[in-house]
Structure 1
Amino acid sequence: MTEADPGMTRQRRQLITGVKGSLRELRVALALLNHRVGTRVELKDVDLDCLDILGRQGPLSPSGLARLAGLHPATITGILDRLERGGWVVRERAPGDRRAVNVRIVPGRNAEIFRQFAGMNALMDELCDGYTDAELELIADFLRRTSTAGQSATDQLASE
């Protein structure tokens, strides 16, 4: 059933609308948090995004990072120049191919960013303490599926 389904009850439509509204509010709240953290560590929001991708994925080629970040390769070059000047990342020759370059995070450098998110992490720990393991599994599944839907919507827009 979709929101436009005439067989859907009014209560269910309201619940779905509430979930979508909450996700929009969360997006704004997290964007503001990231912006505030970025300001404190003198990074742009997109710089934080790229550092997060590198932190989760490990060393990547600039083109691989551009693809995962959904950015043009020329844009990634500017971001990496900025991150390298700030001591956040290093570019290294890829093993086995002296022409290829990988980008990796400077070990320990992200501790400064993690400190900025400590308040949010503590609040999330408190929030999660109020849920059972089964409820947390359901929430994690919903968030994974929401992330996948967002990626699919992004891919669809990129291909138009």
Structure 2
Amino acid sequence: MSSVPPSRRRSTSAIKESLRALSTQLSLLNHRVGAQLELKDVDFDCLDLINRHGPLSPTALARRAGLHPATMTGILDRLERGGWVARDRDPSDRRAVMVRALRERDAEISALFAGMNGRMDALCADYDEAELALLAAFLDRVTEAGRAATDELKPGES
């Protein structure tokens, strides 16, 4: 018999279900934004990783994206042709390449996310600073739990 009260189990289940619904909705939003930009979903995901964590080597990007390094070549070729990224020689190792986002197209992405960002600003306005800090910390912990769970599953495993 579980020592967790039923009300807590229900609340925890409701949070997990809400996070699944959020994940789906954000995937749909990203898919639509990517389609507007004429980017494949995987290309848009990689561009987001470069924007948030770059410049990155192709190998580091492949690792963050959970993709085989050979797959990254085609993705980077498409992003470079589209004017989204540039490949530069790593100043510390002239043989290595670093991928950086080209900021000239950031306004296109921002415009497509304006509706969501405006809604998030309005939603956050309903919370005080302490509540926002709690929510931010919770979401950071959820992100880390997701990262750990992803790392436990090797590519190709089910």
Q: TM range, normalised to the smaller chain?
A: over 0.9
> Which residue, out of 93, 100, 104, partners 2:96?
100
Q: How many residues align?
A: 156
For each residue in 1:91-112, what CA deviation from the matched residue of structure 2 results, as whole angstroms up to 9, or x when unmatched? Answer: 1111032211111111221221
Equivalent residue runs for 1:117-128 within 5 Å: 117-128=113-124
The 3-state SS of whatever aligns with 1:103 is strand
TM (norm. structure 2) is 0.95
1:15 counterpart letter in structure 2: S
Superposition deviation, residue 143 in structure 1:
0.3
2:72 corresponds to 1:76: yes
> Which residue, out of 132, 147, 153, partners 2:143?
147
Distance of 1:123 and 1:97 partners within structure 2: 44
Consecutive unaligned residues in structure 1, runs of 5 or more: none
1:126 counterpart letter in structure 2: A
2:130 corresponds to 1:134: yes
Distance of 2:92 and 2:135 partners within structure 1: 42
Equivalent residue runs for 1:1-160 within 5 Å: 6-158=2-154
For each residue in 1:37-70, what CA deviation from the matched residue of structure 2 results, as whole angstroms up to 9, or x when unmatched? Answer: 0110001111111111111112111001111111
TM (norm. structure 1) is 0.94
Consecutive unaligned residues in structure 2, runs of 5 or more: none
- Report runs of 4+ in structure 1 exceeding 4 Å deviation: none
Distance of 1:110 and 1:44 partners within structure 2: 17
For the aligned residue pairs, the C-alpha RMSD in angstroms reads 1.3
Percent of aligned positions with the same letter in both sequences?
60
Superposition deviation, residue 74 in structure 1:
0.9
